[in-house]
Amino acid sequence: MCRFMVFKGRDPILLAHLLTRPAHSIINQSYDSRLRIDMRRPINGDGFGVGYYPTDPDPEFEDGPCIFCATTPAWNNLNLARLAEKTRSRLMFAHVRASTAGVLSETNCHPFAYHTLMFMHNGQISNFGHIKRRLIERIRDEYFLHIQGGTDSECAFALFLDCLERLGVDPARQEGRFGHALLRQAMLETIALLREWTTDVRARDGGSAEPSLLNFAVTDGESVVATRYITSRTEEAASLHFSSGSRFAEHEPGQYKMERKDRRSDVILVSSEPLTFERNDWVTVPTNTVLTIHDQIVLLHPIVDEYYQSDPAVSRSSNFAASRGLISPIVDDLTTATSQVPPLEREGRRRSIAA
């Protein structure tokens, strides 16, 4: 299945330092999946997308992201390599696709955008064909007409936009930002609706018992909200990790690491699969958690619903996510290490705040 990556920094970074130069960049992961091997589909060759916010936006244009997508494999796209070597940004989304829904087309490549907002998904919505009509009936025509492709992911973005509007804001506004709290609330309501509808389908129509894997990421150009979520009390969600420090730097050709010269988080990376093999660089986001980046601080909130496990020591099986190529063998080690860190201050840089 898919992989995604988020970068947010105080200073712009050359996209090549994230996309093409690291030996285990997200582009290289698309064909060299060392940590999460899906034997059914070992490569992510069904297209890719890169979205970034310009460092010097032109006031004549809308204050939104630039997005470049293609259906060619990411590792074989010369234009992507050229773009990455000449472009800097403080906030970037990247996504490589192994399709589970929708045909191979640029309209089905992530990330998706709506004015200032950008969205991507790693996973699948269980029984999506059975709940699609209900989802379409819920959202306003404006968001329905904005859907160009045929994926469950883009429909989830339309639902997110509808949830955001029902919270009292206009997603089409071009001035100002929405704020991390509002984005997080809309994301949680999006997940709650998808959870409710898929549960109803299983109870009423005997739909598939497979859980939904909902690793979403959204940004308004300032704040970032990402989720690691599964509709199960016993299974792990698709893997998600984050890293923060003073600089993401190359110390040998192709070899990068997160430098930490002080307690500041000048650089924050969120990724389905770690970009380095340094275990100390990465922290695993716990299953069924929403991650927020606000003012270069990482906040972790548990998603409390019927799939919530209040005991962090409860063991979950990784079999389902692993069968979809969506989990890495280092997750359990990192999760154990993270759970031993005091909850309000992790390594003096990351704050985990319970909702």
In this prediction, residue 161 carries a pLDDT of 97
The sign of the CA dihedral 128, 131, 135, 141 is: positive
**CATH value at residue 304:** 3.60.20.10
Catalytic residues: 2
Where the chain has pLDDT below 50, the residues are: 33-45, 102, 330-355
- pLDDT, residue 231, reads 96
Distance CA 208, CA 243 (A): 35
Number of neighbours of residue 317 by Cβ within 10 angstroms? 11
What is the extent of the structural domain holding 15?
A: 3-352
Q: What is the pLDDT of residue 100?
A: 52
Q: How many domains does the chain have?
A: 1
- Name the nearest CA neighbour of 70 among 30, 97, 43: 97
At residue 158, φ and ψ (nearest 5 deg) are -60, -40
Residue 332 — φ and ψ, nearest 5°?
A: -60, -40
Q: Where are the beta strands (DSSP E) in the chain?
A: 3-14, 48-52, 66-70, 88-96, 112-114, 117-124, 213-219, 224-228, 241-245, 247-252, 255-259, 267-271, 283-284, 289-294, 297-302, 351-352
Q: Whole-model pTM?
A: 0.86
